[in-house]
Copies of this chain bind each other. A is one copy, B any other.
Amino acid sequence: MEQRLSLITLGVADLDRAVAFYEALGWRRSARAAGGVAFFQLGGVALALWSAGELAEDAGVPAEPGAGFRGVALAHNVRAREEVDSVAAEAARAGGRIVKPPEEKVWGGYGGYVADPDGHLWEIAWNPGFPIEADGSLRLPD
């Protein structure tokens, strides 16, 4: 597993309200928007805002606060579909817990979730629409 981070996804109760806040900071939302997710380019990583309920469902964890869901997921995107299984397995061997085994995603990619020893969620994903740069950074379309 390369030493990289691709996205930070924050679970939100109201997407429009969340987007309005980040835009009010003077930040510019990426033209890239899919399935109710708003993206902002932050250097070589992307910040994603997504319904907290949908994020919990995607990760296969209970959405209730206090049930262990933090409303945050970090993502490590890989360059090829076949890397997802091997990187998830590597994270499990390192002591992570497979929260949701890799599966086909409705958005056309492939991914799964692994929790670190403290329960912090990492999605290991291949997204054909999100190419990884040579330096490992994720660049959203303008």
A binding-site residues for B, Cβ under 8 Å: 1, 3-5, 8, 10-14, 17-18, 20-22, 24-28, 40-45, 47, 52, 65-66, 68, 70-72, 74, 90-91, 93-96, 116-120, 135-137
Q: In the complex the two chains form, is A24's CB within 8 Å of B93's CB?
A: yes
Kindly state the separation between the CA atoms of A44 and B3 in the bound complex, as whole angstroms.
11
Q: In the complex the two chains form, is A5's CB within 8 Å of B3's CB?
A: no
Across the interface, name the chain B residue whose C-beta is closest to A40: B3
- Residues in B whose Cβ lies below 8 Å from that of A20: 95
- Residues in B whose Cβ lies below 8 Å from that of A17: 95, 117
Cross-chain contact of A42 among B5, B11, B18, B94 (Cβ < 8 A): B5
